[in-house]
Amino acid sequence: MIYTVANVLNSAIPFLLLPVLTRLLTPEQYGIVAIFAVLTSVFGAFAGLSVHGAVNVRYFDNHINHGRYVATALAILACSASVVLIVVLLASPWLFRWTQLPPLALGLAVIAAAAQFVINIRLVLWQVRGQAVRYGVFQVGQMALNLGLSLLLITALGLGWEGRALGIVCAVLVFAIIGLVTLQRGGLIEWRLSREYAKDALRFGIPLIPHVIGSLFIASSDRLMVAGMLSVRDAGVYAAGMQIGMIIGVLAESSVKAVSPWFYARLANPDAATKRTIVRFTYLYFAAIAVVGLAFSALAPYLLLLVGEQFRSSREVVIYISVGGAFGGMYLMVVNYIFFVKRNELLSAASLVIGALNLTLSYLLVQRGGAVGAAQAFMVSQLLMFLVTWAIAAKCYPMPWLQGLRRAPVPPQDR
């Protein structure tokens, strides 16, 4: 419950400040901020090479020196982030044409991505050690500082999008430093590197990169397409509408995190009755998330009143994003089967294919319908990702998906 509450608060703070930011920033400025956030996520796929997940998995291996493993993961971060920074700066003229971000801002996005990697390691080690309160306070504190600094820089110093971007970067750097200090004081880093540990961490992280990239294509390419094919102003208006529509995604992610321990515990040693119970619960969750998504769609005209008048996009954007968020929530439930059987390579392949399809679909639909087309592409991609992941899960971990809809047979009574 602590993790769930922390996740909701972490996601709720930006939403609660949406009415403020959309009145302090112009649509063009808000669009640049949205692109800056997207690029930070994209660079994060390569800065660190996803090896922070290996720190999580290997923590329970008693044959590993965990302090050296963490230090080796941080060394991989330093090397990979340096390469990403050089490539981004070399490509900055081309990136500027698509994003309107100058080279300095692009470099800061890489630095923010690297700092977030350090924060992820800090959070992972608190999670595996069962220190949920510290995890939650750290996570919510970072977001509070992020938005507090942003508001201060925008209102007190009169900075526009630069103030919001600097707020993001400063907050993540401060908490990365805090993370490193607490790791050092807790004896969780031993500054001796290991080639063997580096190979092990890379074997874990590199196969996940296609999955991360594909997921980012699905989640973020719509904003980049709107900015590149229409305008940064349109991207800002679209991003505000998407922020509203993605409330359903926040609720879905939080609820899945809450039920995951129950889910995994029953998958470990299930009998026929337990499998039917899991399937029925999954169908109930599908129905609930669909109802919530449709409710948000119906409320779209009223939810748009939350943002500044310049940001009131078509209600169709919020509708398609809400429905897409509901499909994304369904995906979060069925993907647990794949994680349980450790078939991440299948998930990576599916994510990359659907991510590439989403790029093509976004390009075609934005040409045809503008920002509404981008929202349609997002919804279709989320639906495809859910259905394909469900099919893979059914193959990897057979469950009574049809039988679960029927009533369980009543055992005969002895006479």
Please give the angle made by the CA atoms of 178, 76 and 181, to the nearest 5 degrees. Answer: 15
Sign of dihedral through CA atoms 85, 36, 219, 255?
positive
Q: Which residues contact 405 (CB under 8 A, 6 or more apart)?
A: 279, 283
- Which of 98-107, 200-209, 325-334 is the least confident region? 200-209
What is the four-CA torsion angle of 126, 131, 133, 138, rounded to 10 degrees?
-10
Cβ count within 10 A of residue 264: 12
Confidence grade of residue 412 (pLDDT, cut at 50, 70, 90): very low
Nearest to 144 by CA among 122, 126, 118, 170: 170
Cα–Cα distance, 179 to 214 (Å, whole number): 29
How many angstroms separate the Cα of 182 from the Cα of each of 53, 115, 121, 178, 240? 19, 15, 11, 6, 36
Amino acid of residue 339:
F
How remote is the C-alpha of 162 from its chain's centroid? 23
pLDDT greater at residue 132 or residue 330: 330
- Residue 404 scores a pLDDT above 70: no
Hey, what are 97's tokens?
A: 């044409």
Amino acid of residue 241:
G
- What local confidence, expressed as pLDDT, does residue 415 receive? 43
Query: Which sequence spans correspond to the domains of the chain?
Result: 1-193, 221-407
Q: What is the pTM of this model?
A: 0.77
Specify whether the backbone of 231 is left (phi greater than 0), alpha (psi in -120 to 50) or beta. beta
pLDDT greater at residue 58 or residue 276: 276
In this structure, the chain runs to a length of 415
Mean pLDDT confidence for 283-290:
91
Cα–Cα distance, 129 to 90 (Å, whole number): 41
Confidence grade of residue 406 (pLDDT, cut at 50, 70, 90): low
Amino acid of residue 261:
P
Confidence grade of residue 411 (pLDDT, cut at 50, 70, 90): very low
| SS3 labels along 142-164 | HHHHHHHHHHHHHHCCCCCHHHH
Hey, what are 411's tokens?
A: 């055992």
Looking at the chain, the whole-number percentage of residues with pLDDT higher than 90 is: 25
Characterize 66-102 residue by residue with b for buried, 16 or more Cβ atoms within 10 angstroms of its Cβ, and e for exposed: bbbbbbbbbbbbeebbeebbeebeeebeebeeebbbe
pLDDT in tens, 126-154: 877 878 889 889 988 998 898 899 889 99
Looking at the chain, the whole-number percentage of residues with pLDDT higher than 70 is: 95
- What local confidence, expressed as pLDDT, does residue 313 receive? 67
- Which of 160-164, 326-330, 404-408 is the least confident region? 404-408
- Residue 409 scores a pLDDT above 60: no
Average pLDDT for the chain = 84
- Residue 300 scores a pLDDT above 60: yes
Mean pLDDT confidence for 285-298:
88
Nearest to 382 by CA among 226, 281, 245: 245
pLDDT in tens, 221-244: 777 788 778 888 888 888 888 888
Mean pLDDT confidence for 237-260:
79
How many C-alpha atoms does 188 have within 13 Å on its Cβ side?
Answer: 22
- What local confidence, expressed as pLDDT, does residue 275 receive? 85
- What local confidence, expressed as pLDDT, does residue 225 receive? 82
Alpha helices in 129-208 (DSSP H): 132-155, 161-185, 195-205
- What local confidence, expressed as pLDDT, does residue 49 receive? 80
- Residue 414 scores a pLDDT above 70: no
pLDDT in tens, 63-111: 888 889 999 999 999 999 999 999 999 999 988 887 788 999 999 999 9
- Residue 315 scores a pLDDT above 50: yes
- What local confidence, expressed as pLDDT, does residue 239 receive? 83
- What local confidence, expressed as pLDDT, does residue 219 receive? 72
Match 């949406």 to its residue by tokens: 18
- What local confidence, expressed as pLDDT, does residue 80 receive? 93
Q: Which residues contact 123 (CB under 8 A, 6 or more apart)?
A: 135, 138, 139
